[in-house]
Amino acid sequence: MNLKETVTIAAAAIRDEVIGYRRHLHRHPELSFKEFGTSAFIKEQLDLQGIPWKTIAGTGVLAEIQGAGKAGSVIALRADIDALPITEANQVDYCSVNDGVMHACGHDAHTASLLGVARILNGLKAHFSGTVKLIFQPGEELLPGGAQQVIAEGGLNAPAANVVLGQHVMPWIPAGKIGVRTGLFMASMDEIKIEVYGKGGHGAEPHKGIDPVMITCSLLQALQQLVSRNTSPFMPAVLSFGKLRADGAINVIPDKVWIEGTFRTLDETWRNSAHARMKQLAESLVAGMGGTCDIEIRKGYPHLKNDEALGAHMISFFKEYAGAENVLPQDIWMASEDFAYYSRALPSFFYLLGVRNENKGARSALHTPVFNIDEDALELGMGLMAYAALRWLETS
Last residue of a domain, one of 234, 266, 299: 299
Specify whether 27 is located in the same domain as 131.
yes
pLDDT over 80 at 54, yes or no:
yes
pLDDT in tens, 336-351: 999 999 999 999 999 9
Last residue of a domain, one of 264, 299, 334: 299
Q: How far is CA 241 from CA 81, 144, 217, in A?
A: 28, 20, 12
pLDDT in tens, 86-135: 999 999 999 999 999 999 999 999 999 999 999 999 999 999 999 999 99
Average per-residue pLDDT for the chain: 97
Specify whether 181 is located in the same domain as 214.
no
Specify whether 183 is located in the same domain as 194.
no
Specify whether 74 is located in the same domain as 124.
yes
Specify whether 331 is located in the same domain as 197.
no
Specify whether 158 is located in the same domain as 31.
yes
Specify whether 183 is located in the same domain as 60.
yes
Query: Residue 259: which domain range?
Result: 190-299
Is 107 among the annotated ligand-binding positions?
Answer: yes
pLDDT in tens, 160-175: 999 999 999 999 999 9
- Specify the pLDDT at position 178: 98
Is 367 among the annotated ligand-binding positions?
Answer: yes
CATH number at residue 142: 3.40.630.10
- Specify the pLDDT at position 71: 82
Specify whether 285 is located in the same domain as 314.
no
pLDDT over 80 at 4, yes or no:
yes
- Specify the pLDDT at position 358: 95
Is 168 among the annotated ligand-binding positions?
Answer: yes
Specify whether 38 is located in the same domain as 182.
yes
Count the domains in the chain: 2
pLDDT in tens, 279-309: 999 999 999 999 999 999 999 999 999 999 9
CATH number at residue 258: 3.30.70.360
Last residue of a domain, one of 248, 272, 299: 299
- Specify the pLDDT at position 217: 97
- Specify the pLDDT at position 288: 98
- Specify the pLDDT at position 1: 83
Specify whether 84 is located in the same domain as 179.
yes
User: How large is the average pLDDT for residues 14-24?
Assistant: 98
Is 105 among the annotated ligand-binding positions?
Answer: yes
Specify whether 210 is located in the same domain as 133.
no
pLDDT over 90 at 70, yes or no:
no
Specify whether 306 is located in the same domain as 380.
yes
